[in-house]
Structure formats: C-alpha cells, structure tokens
Amino acid sequence: MILPIVFLAFFILLPFALVFSVTACIATSRTRAWRKKLAQDQEAAHPESVPLAPTEEEEDDFLDTEDEADYHAQKAEERADMQLTPRQKFRKEFKKAWSGNAKDAQKQKEREERRKLAKAVAREVERRERRRARQSDQAGTSAGETEGLPSYNNAVAGDKKH
C-alpha cells in the first residue's frame, strides 16, 4: 500500500519539481545578469569612466512612435529595479518566468526588426546625401574651380617637366 502511494507521489511531484527548477534557473540567470548590469552602472557612475562615444542603448533615435511609450515604460521599470534587493528581483523574475511572456517576446522581436530597418534606412539616406555632395563637388572642380592641391596625375606630370 505504501509503495503505490510513494510511486504515484513520485510521478506527480517530479513534473512539478522539474518545472519549478527550470523556472528558478531562468529567474536566477536573469537576476545574475541584473546584478552584473547594476555593478556596471555603479562603476560607470564615476566620472573617469564616462564613454566618449554613445553606446547602443543611447541610440534611441530609431524608435517608432508606437514603441516610444513602451521604451520609456521599460526604462522607468529598469530605474525602479535599481532600488530592489537581489531577493526581490529574483521573486519578480520568478513570477515573470512562471507566467510566461510569449507576447512580450514577440513584440520585442518585432520592435527590434523595425529598429534595425529604420537604422538601415537612415544609413542609406546618409550614404545618398554623401554621394550627392561628392558628385556636386566633383562637378564643381571639373568646371575649372580647382582649389587646393592639384590632382596626382597633374602633380606627377609637373615633376617630370622640371
């Protein structure tokens, strides 16, 4: 009588324990990443470590108007998370992992694709503007408005004459 009860309890508790441990591992990894980012942010608070070039996170020029509200809400949540203890953060991440966020992941993926597309379009527009400026400069110099140094061929030909 005891053996079937133990056997059934094992088969009932094993799936729950497995799901619980996987969820705990996900929450732990997110909490570790949060701690690492928190340490980097605290280290970056020193004036000597201010980066000279903007980082990827600072390049928020390529947000759609729809994504801007979500972006600001996410940044506000990150600022609020900085006040949490690691245990509180673990509980928060555990709840997120347990409830699942498939819709949020899909929305984040679509937002990232739109952002990459917007960056590519901006680069292409800048490239076209540079090309037009270069062509207008070349057209101006070919019309006889040479300024500055002569071209390499003219300089070499001038050296051969002397």
Per the model's pLDDT, the better-predicted residue between 20 and 44 turns out to be 20
* Residue ranges with strand state E in 54-101: none
Rounded to the nearest 5°, which phi and psi values hold at 147? Answer: -125, 150
Torsion 65-69-82-90 (CA) sign: negative
Per the model's pLDDT, the better-predicted residue between 114 and 46 turns out to be 114
Residue 114 burial (CB count, 10 A): 15
pTM score: 0.45
**Per-residue pLDDT tens digits for 100-127:** 766 677 877 888 888 888 888 989 999 9
**Per-residue pLDDT tens digits for 133-154:** 988 888 776 655 555 666 777 7
Torsion 138-140-143-149 (CA) sign: negative
